[in-house]
Every structure is written in C-alpha cells, then in structure tokens.
C-alpha cells in the first residue's frame, strides 16, 4: 500500500474512533459518566491555555524516562552477566521472574515507607517494571550469539573488547532495541499509575485529583493527553527504527 | 628449509569415539598440503587441533609460525558489518585492506554486507580475512563445499594463482580430489576409525582441472580412501 493511502486509512481510523466515542457519549448522555469528545477536547484546550497541562506531562515524562534509563543500564549489565554465565543465570533467573510477577501495588508499601510520597517512588516503580523486560531480552540476545563467530575471533586473536563490541553487541542490539520499544510503550502507563498511587505531581496526580472531585471530563482530558503523548513517543521511535537510525555501525 | 608446523602422534577421542589415531605431519616453508578423506573421518578435527581450537588427547604439536589464517567451511562473516568492517576488525591498515580486496577480486564491494553478496563472494571475503594478516600458515577447511561448480572452478583457479604468488604454507582439507590436486603438492589420504594417513602422494607440480593424468591420480586416491581397488 502506498504511504499516502496508509496515512489516509490511519486518519480514517482516528475519525472512526472519535465518531464511535461521540455516539456512545450521546447514548449514555451523562457527562459525569462518559463525556463526549467535543467536551473533552475543549476542556483539554482550556487546560493547555491555563498552563495545567505541559508541566504535569513534562514531569511524568522525566520520571518515566529516568526510570527507563536506569532499567536499560541495569538490565543490560544483568542480561549480559546472565547470558554469559550459566551459574549467574540460574542464580538470578528466579529473582528476575519474581520481580516480573510482582504487581505494582505490592511495591507501594515498601516504596512509601522508604521514600514517602514523591518522585523517587515513581521512578523506582518504572524501573522495577521495566528491568525484567530489558534483562530477559538482553540475556536472550547474549545466549543466541553465534559461537562460530566467537571462535573465528579467537583464531585471529582479537582482543576481548573487540569481540564484545563487534560480535556480542551486534547480536544483542536487536534484542536491546526490541526491549526499548516495549519499554517506551509501558513506561508511560506505569509512571501514570505510580503517580496516581504515590505521586506528588504529574499526570497521574492530576487524574487522581480530577477523579476525587468527580470531574470526569478532566479525567478524560488528562487520559487523552496521556494516550496521545504515548502514541507520539512510540511513533517517533518506530520512525527512527524504520529509517535505520539504530542500525549497528557498518 | 624452515619448518612451519610439526605434528607427532596426535590422538583424539570424542568421549568413547576414537577420531584420530596417531597423526604425524611435517610442514615446511611454502609447503602446499591437502588432506583428503571421506566425510566425517576427522579432517576438520585435525585442522581445529592445528589452529588451537581443540586439544589433542595426546601427541606433540610444534608451531614455528606466529600468524595463522583460517578459511572456514562456513564463511563466519559478521552479518551486520560491511565487507570493509569485516576486514577492519582483523587488521585496520587501509593499504592492506585495499590490496587484499583487490587480490580476492572484491574491490568496489567494500560497503556491501555479507547478506548482499553471492556465496562465491562471501568465500572470497572469508579468504581475504585470512590473507590480510599475511599468515605464515593458512588452513583451509573445505572452503568450496557450498559453491556451484563454475564458481568453484573459478575460485580454485584464482586461489591457486594467488597462493603461488604470496608463497605461504597451507593445509587444505577436502573430500574433493580435484580441489586437492589443483591446489596442493602433497596429498595425504586419511581414512579409518580412528583416522590415520594411509597414503601420501607428492606431485611434481599442481595440476589443473583438465590435465590428462588427473583421472588416474583421482582413481589412485579413491582406491586408498575406500580401501578397495575401484574402477578396475
């Protein structure tokens, strides 16, 4: 399909979504339960003009990004260790699986007792939510490294850092990018949930406050902003991916 | 003449399976040796032992070289690196990269990735990677196995001329008599379980594919490989 046709179809999909939303809101006919898109859009615009939108979005993004960055660094190191050594794999795999299965709310008591309400808890929850994804992906990337390439490198007495950079990093790279793609999709949602529960500022807190005052239109407005921002982030990453911006230097 | 490699009484078992049963080999400077034998008889194992990728169970290996090149059966190229980068990680001397690419006929393909090259070109790059370090000993493990006949004949001819010019010692392992006779001056026939050298032929000169005495020699080697007189 041509690029222009693809764009037209996507645009039509968005129009269809708003039309469906509009019809449902008319059927429900209660702004308290399900406000329509025209009300939500105009409320979002008002929030933007009043300066109540950009700051929470920025703060939530910073926390989510910081948590993801930490998870990428720690997950890459752990993934490499687990992929290279069977002993470390057997030692850390149960812990990795346990972290993956712990629900976000279960971290709350520990986080609140450790740091109280605030940004650190949010960053930590984003970090622990993404860490197993990155670790698992990097570990898999290391485990599928072509041993024949490593053997070739040994025949030519390549130094270890060259073997690491040329063979291991090249093999792990697609796995790391795939975990980055998954993380970008998740970090945003996890950060908002964490802010909702233990945050002081940010989009999650705004949603929580709007819900407290039974302002459903405002809840929908912040949710719409969160969805749009999340989609833009994913689209941006996908576009860079398709352009080959993340290819291993050849 | 200076000795490049000496193997004395090399034995190797894989668990309870005997593979090599006392291999002796002496390789002098500029020697061109081919080891032929049926598939699975232990030729590659012997080459891996020479390269230090495996240890023999017993025996002595005396290595009198400092640089070793290995042309693998499968090309073992780094798929995400270009032709140039595949050579650059072995040797970053620009002059040598250009010269080697020219030697193997890959000039102009520097920026291609292995996946964009034909099987023959990938094997040329595999060879270039081995030659760029200017090895004193070159090991070739059935390098033409996966190629079609015209590509194989062309590559063997090119390689024969190239190796003649650069004057290095090499050991070619193959089950194809034509490859062995085209590239080597000494042909060792390997056979049995555990495998040993059962026959050695010294050629006055390397042969080309269309040499009239080719068929007779091929028959002789086959008879030693199969332990029966064939084609009688």
Mark yes or no for CB contact B76/A167 under 8 Å.
Answer: no
Q: Which fold has domain B3-66+136-226?
A: Rossmann fold (3.40.50)
CA-wise closest residue to B162 among B128, B209, B119, B114: B128
The count of structural domains within chain A is 2
Mark yes or no for CB contact A158/B111 under 8 Å.
Answer: no
Kindly state whether residues A191 and A77 are assigned to the same domain: yes
In this prediction, residue A249 has a pLDDT band, given cuts at 50, 70 and 90, of low
Q: Please indicate if any CB of chain A lies within 8 Å of the CB of B90.
A: yes
Kindly state whether residues A59 and A15 are assigned to the same domain: no
Mark yes or no for CB contact A250/B113 under 8 Å.
Answer: yes
Average pLDDT over residues A97-115: 88
Q: Which domain holds residue A3?
A: 1-30
pLDDT score at A244: 62
- Evaluate whether residue A248 is within a structural domain: no
Element (H, E) at A123: helix A119-143
- Evaluate whether residue A148 is within a structural domain: yes
Task: Give the domain ranges of chain B.
Answer: 3-66+136-226, 75-135
Span B191-213, pLDDT tens digits: 888 998 988 888 877 676 677 77
For residue A150, what is the nearest residue in chain B, using CA coordinates? B76
Question: Residue B202, class by beta-carbon neighbours within 10 Å (0-12 exposed, 13-18 middle, 19+ buried)?
Answer: exposed
Residue B2 has pLDDT above 60, yes or no: yes
Residue B231 has pLDDT above 80, yes or no: no
Task: Give Cβ neighbours of residue A128 (< 8 Å, ≥ 6 apart).
Answer: A71, A99, A102, A107
Please report the residues numbered 222 through 241 in chain A whose beta carbons come closer than 8 angstroms to any beta carbon of chain B: none
Span B66-119, pLDDT tens digits: 899 999 989 999 999 999 999 999 998 999 999 999 988 899 999 999 999 998
- How far B72 CA lies from chain A's nearest CA (Å)? 8
Kindly state whether residues A18 and A93 are assigned to the same domain: no
Kindly state whether residues A82 and A25 are assigned to the same domain: no
Kindly state whether residues A94 and A185 are assigned to the same domain: yes
Q: Please indicate if any CB of chain B lies within 8 Å of the CB of A164.
A: no
User: How far apart are the C-alpha atoms of A80 and A175, rounded to whole Å?
Assistant: 12
B52 to chain A: which residues are within 8 Å by CB?
A: 155
**Which residue pairs from A195-199 have beta carbons closer than 8 angstroms and sit at least 24 positions apart in sequence?**
A195/A60, A195/A63, A195/A122, A197/A104, A197/A105, A197/A108, A198/A108, A198/A111, A198/A112, A198/A117, A198/A118, A198/A121, A198/A122, A198/A125, A199/A117, A199/A118, A199/A119, A199/A121, A199/A122
Mark yes or no for CB contact B76/A151 under 8 Å.
Answer: yes
Kindly state whether residues A24 and A47 are assigned to the same domain: no
Kindly state whether residues A15 and A54 are assigned to the same domain: no
Mark yes or no for CB contact B76/A162 under 8 Å.
Answer: no
Kindly state whether residues A186 and A74 are assigned to the same domain: yes
Kindly state whether residues A78 and A158 are assigned to the same domain: yes
Kindly state whether residues A181 and A80 are assigned to the same domain: yes
CATH code for the domain of A183: 1.10.3720.10
For residue B114, what is the nearest residue in chain A, using CA coordinates? A250
CA-wise closest residue to B62 among B3, B135, B147: B3
| pTM (predicted TM-score) | 0.79
List the alpha helices (DSSP H) in chain B. 43-51, 83-88, 94-103, 119-131, 149-166, 177-183, 214-226
């Amino acid at each position: 399909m041509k690029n222009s046709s693809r764009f037209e179809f996507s645009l039509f999909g968005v129009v269809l979504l708003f039309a469906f939303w509009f019809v449902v809101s008319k059927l429900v006919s209660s702004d308290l339960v399900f406000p329509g898109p025209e009300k939500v859009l105009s409320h979002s615009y008002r929030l933007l003009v009043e300066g109540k939108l950009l700051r929470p979005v920025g703060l939530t993004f910073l926390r989510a990004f910081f948590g993801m960055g930490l998870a990428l660094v720690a997950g890459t190191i752990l993934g490499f260790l687990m992929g290279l050594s069977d002993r470390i794999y057997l030692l850390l795999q149960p812990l990795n699986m346990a972290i993956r299965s712990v629900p976000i709310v279960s971290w709350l008591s520990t986080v609140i007792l450790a740091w109280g309400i605030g940004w650190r808890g949010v960053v930590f929850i984003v970090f622990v939510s993404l860490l197993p994804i990155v670790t698992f992906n990097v570990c898999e990337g290391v485990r599928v490294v072509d041993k024949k390439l490593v053997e070739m490198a040994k025949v030519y007495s390549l130094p270890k850092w060259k073997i690491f950079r040329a063979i291991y990093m090249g093999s792990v790279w697609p796995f790391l990018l795939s975990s980055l793609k998954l993380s970008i999709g998740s970090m945003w949602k996890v950060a908002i949930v964490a802010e909702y529960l233990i945050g002081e500022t940010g989009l999650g807190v705004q949603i929580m406050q709007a819900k407290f005052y039974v302002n459903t239109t405002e809840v929908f407005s912040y949710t719409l902003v969160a969805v749009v921002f999340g989609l833009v982030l994913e689209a941006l990453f996908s576009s860079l991916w398709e352009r080959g911006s993340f290819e291993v230097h050849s | 003449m200076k000795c490049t490699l000496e193997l004395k009484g090399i034995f190797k078992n894989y668990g309870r399976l005997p593979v090599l049963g006392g291999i002796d080999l002496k390789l002098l400077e500029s020697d061109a040796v081919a080891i032929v034998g049926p598939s699975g008889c232990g030729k590659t194992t012997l080459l891996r032992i020479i390269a230090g990728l495996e240890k023999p169970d017993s025996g002595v290996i005396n290595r009198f070289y400092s640089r070793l090149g290995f042309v693998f059966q499968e090309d073992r190229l780094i798929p995400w690196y270009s032709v140039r980068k595949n050579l650059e990680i072995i040797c970053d001397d620009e002059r040598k990269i250009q010269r080697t690419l020219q030697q193997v006929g890959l000039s102009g393909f520097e920026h291609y990735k292995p996946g964009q090259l034909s099987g023959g070109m990938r094997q040329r790059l595999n060879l270039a990677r081995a030659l760029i370090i200017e090895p004193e000993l070159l090991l070739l493990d059935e390098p033409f196995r996966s190629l079609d006949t015209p590509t194989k004949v062309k590559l063997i001819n090119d390689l024969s001329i190239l190796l003649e010019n650069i004057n290095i010692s090499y050991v070619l392992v193959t089950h194809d008599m034509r490859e062995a006779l085209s590239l080597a001056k000494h042909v060792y026939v390997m056979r049995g379980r555990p495998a040993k050298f059962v026959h050695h032929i010294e050629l006055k000169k390397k042969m080309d594919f269309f040499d009239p005495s080719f068929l007779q020699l091929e028959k002789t080697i086959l008879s030693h490989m199969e332990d029966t007189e064939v084609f009688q």
